Amino acid sequence: MTNNFSIAIHGGAGTILRSTMTPELQAQYETGLEAALDKGYKILEAGGSSLEAVEGAVVILEDFPLFNAGKGAVFNNVGGHEMDASIMFGEGLEAGAVCGVSHIKNPVKLARAIMEHSGHVILCGEGAEQFAKLQNITFEDDAYFYTEQRYKQWQEALKEDKVQLDHSDKKFGTVGAVALDKYGNLAAATSTGGMTNKKFGRVGDSPIPGAGTYANNNTCAVSCTGHGELFIRSVVGYDISCLIEYKGLSLKEACDLVVYDKLVKMGGEGGLIAIDKHGNIEMPFNSEGMYRACRSSNGRYEVKIYP
């Protein structure tokens, strides 16, 4: 048993302008981040597993209406919600993920149930919701997922679409957590509503093990946020792990190379949180801001939005 444990969480990266951020709103975001961080940290402190900690933290973020996951999920181009989530445990590379579900209160819980009880890694849409019923996962109706802020964002995106055929939507947001527990096990979880006005049926990087979410006890745990298509093509989580495992890079070197160089060259806006097997934490992003927080048993504590 190691004594060292740590957790990092994010609430999405993207265009978070200081000019439109009020002190009240900032305080609300920080409250949400602190609650999730606290939940995960306490689980680790009490000797819980990293898997429990990342799930616990992500559930709090999914229930918090300001973040784009669960309750606060964005609207797709037909005015619905389609959520993606995944979870991965670094001890045996176990993974579970769900894509395109519309009525699951906490998609991360379903991802874990898929990992532990389905015999599969990814379930999508109706099949995933059928499986969720068998697992006694909590459902919510459409009204639960309606938030005024997201509806307005969708209306704006729709308007832009009409005048701008080649529409590139940059409304990001996602939540995630990575943790190292006292037993040396790493875990990662990510949950999202995807991108505002995304095409019906679109799946991003968040539920793809190796892309938006990855955990391997030999290297690190990673949870991403940003322009999902680019993160899938860059296989971001696994790339960082490979740079550590096969090239001997440190966590910081690997994260910097992927986020500030490789992704930037491809136009991949966003960021990630990562923890390595020694408990080091990195939270790099190449966008204007990223809602993020971390805490470790060696005393590091941060809650931040801007660089």
Q: Which residues are catalytic?
A: 174
| CB atoms near residue 233 (< 10 Å) | 13
How far apart CA 103 and CA 220 sit, in angstroms, is 32
**Of residues 72, 90, 100, 173, which one binds ligand ASP by CB under 6 A?**
173
Does position 269 interact with ligand ASP (CB under 6 A)? The reply is no
Which residues on adjacent β-strands are paired with residue 6?
Answer: 180, 296
Q: What is the DSSP string of 86-141?
A: EEEETTTTEEEEEEEESSBS-HHHHHHHHHHHTSSSEEEHHHHHHHHHHTTPPB--
Does position 206 interact with ligand ASP (CB under 6 A)? The reply is yes
Does position 205 interact with ligand ASP (CB under 6 A)? The reply is yes
What type of residue is 85?
A: A
Does position 195 interact with ligand ASP (CB under 6 A)? The reply is yes
Does position 287 interact with ligand ASP (CB under 6 A)? The reply is no
Does position 214 interact with ligand ASP (CB under 6 A)? The reply is no
Query: Shortest approach of ligand ASP to residue 123 CB, angstroms?
Result: 17
Query: Shortest approach of ligand ASP to residue 281 CB, angstroms?
Result: 19
**Of residues 226, 237, 268, 289, which one binds ligand ASP by CB under 6 A?**
226
Does position 209 interact with ligand ASP (CB under 6 A)? The reply is no
CA angle, corner 13, sides to 200 and 144, nearest 5?
50
Does position 100 interact with ligand ASP (CB under 6 A)? The reply is no
Residue 25 burial (10 A CB sphere; 0-12, 13-18, 19+): exposed
Query: Shortest approach of ligand ASP to residue 194 CB, angstroms?
Result: 4
How far apart CA 247 and CA 30 sit, in angstroms, is 37
Binding site for ligand ASP (CB under 6 A): 12, 172-174, 192, 194-195, 204-206, 212, 225-226, 228, 231
